[in-house]
Homo-oligomer: A and B are copies of this chain.
Amino acid sequence: MNVANSDTKQAIFDMDKENNFPDWYTEICRVAELADVRYGVKGFTPFLPWSYMSMDLMFNILEEVLRRKDHLPMLFPTVIPESNLTREADHVEGFTPQVFWIEEIGSGEKLEERLALRPTSETAIYPLYSLWVRSWRDLPLKRYQRCSVFRSEVKSTRPFLRGREFLWIESHNVYSTHEEAIAQVMEDLETSKEVCTDNFGLPVMVFRRTQWDKFPGGLNTYAADTLMPDGKVIQLPSTHDLGDNFAKAFNITYLNKDNETVPAWQTCYGPAISRIYGAMISVHGDNKGLRLPFKVSPYQVVIVPIFKGKNIETVLEYCKGIEKVLKKAGIRVHLDDTDTTPGWKYNYWEMKGVPIRVEAGPRDIKKNSAVLFRRDTLKRETIDLKDLKKRVAALGKEIDQNLLKMAEAKFEGLIVDTERLGEVDDALDHGKIARVPFCSIEMDAYSCAEEIEKNTRGEIRGTRIDIDEKPEGVCVVCGKVAKEVVYIARSY
């Protein structure tokens, strides 16, 4: 099978990731054939097989967790009538500047009403929720969809990390009480951790966002952030307590057990898989290229046959046997039988980030053995063929644990306690995250936040909800008594 295209075919990759992350990222997207930026429409990037196959596996993992927690999949249209979009005032104000509009069909037929490409689907879905939800017996209603969304980002776009079309799952839930809705938000945060940390190896900090940085139309936004190699943070899944705002705007009411018609409570949750993929390859990659987690690598194992002169047939036969054993064990395995040298193949699949390589040649045949190479540590071991299946499975787990451990190590010592604006700026310049006492995360503290952004180019990420913290002292900006501990970081 042909996996590389001539115009980018290259085996050796060598870039200094820590010191030149932006170039590293651009180059690995090109050389590993993850995305092709030559499509010609700003912010729209084709996703190539090597990235798409991983994202597909990532979607599967996330969907498995959602279904286990009783969310069912569905799919709403890509287009939303303009009149839907304008029903919740804050929401329309937040999203309208980013909307792509359809006004015309074919050769000049004008639509009666403009259609938006969905920037998010609350206003598509909730009018039907209003029809579906009648009584307390219909609740909870837990649904999600996997789809593309479209936002005309003004910031500079990058493949996966920020695009005008990106891939996500959006989950939309309706409850009888606010308490249940908040419990759903907490469940979503657990899901984020289970998926991003346990499966993709990304450590996260979990925040309640400030009131000026929440989902337009919602009560509160909670989100998991992870750390990029350049010291900036990036938002992974976010989940929103919508209160009964949308229920009131879209008339989602139900008959409770006392026979009263009351508004329902809602939440929504939006893990952007393409963005999480971008963060994942950034966090785990090294100077030689990608290092993909075993769980989401398109090929978990690549087999490289070592030919010596006339042994080609025998070695290939032996390698096919190995392939068969692994395939039968449910491992995603690829036998590279192309006519390049073993050395070329080593470099190529290391650059592509395949977690485990099996090398097998005449010497291995004699001993009924094979060499296993692991991409994370670049170490080799020789194993007896009878242990193959078991060892590959165990090694896969070890590799994923090690990738997470290395990522967690980067988090350590990262947070600096600061009490003055100058210190914050200094910490951020050194790729750190500043923890500061702050007056409030309600709207009345917005001017303090503006002051911080102006002076440090850092953003307040909110207050931690995954740990308990009590504020001491005074707000780093206004000097009032601090009611919160907030984290300030530069961000994507």
Contacts and interface: CB of A to CB of B under 8 A. Distances in A.
Given A5-B133, A6-B132, A100-B104, 10 more contacts: A2-B142, A36-B131, A39-B77, A44-B77, A46-B125, A77-B165, A78-B148, A101-B104, A105-B152, A106-B152
Interface stretch (A11-19, A48-56, A282-290, A481-489): A48-56
B74 A47 contact: yes
Given A5-B133, A106-B98, A106-B99, A53 B72 contact: yes
A36 B143 CA distance: 15
Nearest to A5: B132
Given A99-B106, A102-B101, A141 B2 contact: yes
A128 B77 contact: no
Nearest to A134: B6
Given A5-B132, A6-B132, A97-B107, A102 B117 contact: yes
- Name the 7 nearest CB pairs between A and B, nearest first: A6-B134, A44-B77, A5-B132, A49-B72, A97-B106, A105-B152, A47-B75
28 contacts: A2-B138, A2-B142, A5-B134, A6-B132, A6-B134, A7-B132, A36-B128, A39-B77, A39-B128, A41-B77, A41-B115, A45-B77, A47-B74, A48-B74, A49-B72, A52-B73, A53-B72, A56-B73, A78-B148, A78-B165, A79-B165, A96-B106, A97-B107, A98-B106, A99-B106, A100-B102, A100-B104, A101-B104
A6 B117 CA distance: 30
A63 to B, nearest CB: 9
A76 interface: yes
Contacts of A44: 77, 79
Contact of A7 (B70, B76, B131): B131
A352 to B, nearest CB: 13
Interface of A: 1-3, 5-7, 36, 38-41, 44-49, 52-53, 56, 70, 72-79, 81, 84, 96-107, 109, 115, 117, 124-125, 127-128, 131-135, 137-143, 148, 150, 152, 165, 167
Contact of A52 (B5, B74, B127, B150): B74
A73 B101 contact: no
Contact of A76 (B46, B98, B139): B46
Nearest to A148: B78
Given A46-B77, A128-B38, A102 B102 contact: yes
Contacts of A5: 131-134, 138, 141
A46 B70 contact: no
Given A102-B100, A132-B6, A140-B2, A49 B73 contact: yes
Contacts of A78: 78, 117, 148, 150, 165
Contacts of A141: 2, 5
Given A77-B44, A106-B152, A6 B135 contact: yes
A139 B2 CA distance: 8
B115 A105 contact: no
Contacts of A148: 78, 148
- Which among A47, A53, A102, A138 has the greatest number of chain B C-beta atoms within 10 A? A102
Contacts of A52: 73-75
Contact of A38 (B76, B131, B152): B131
A108 to B, nearest CB: 10
A38 B133 CA distance: 15
- Which among A76, A97, A99, A109 has the greatest number of chain B C-beta atoms within 10 A? A76
A36 B129 CA distance: 11
B137 A6 contact: yes
A38 B102 CA distance: 20
Nearest to A55: B75
- Which among A2, A81, A99, A127 has the greatest number of chain B C-beta atoms within 10 A? A2
A267 to B, nearest CB: 16
Contacts of A53: 72-73
A109 B76 CA distance: 27
Contacts of A81: 40-41
A137 to B, nearest CB: 7
Contact of A105 (B56, B99, B133, B167): B99
A12 to B, nearest CB: 19
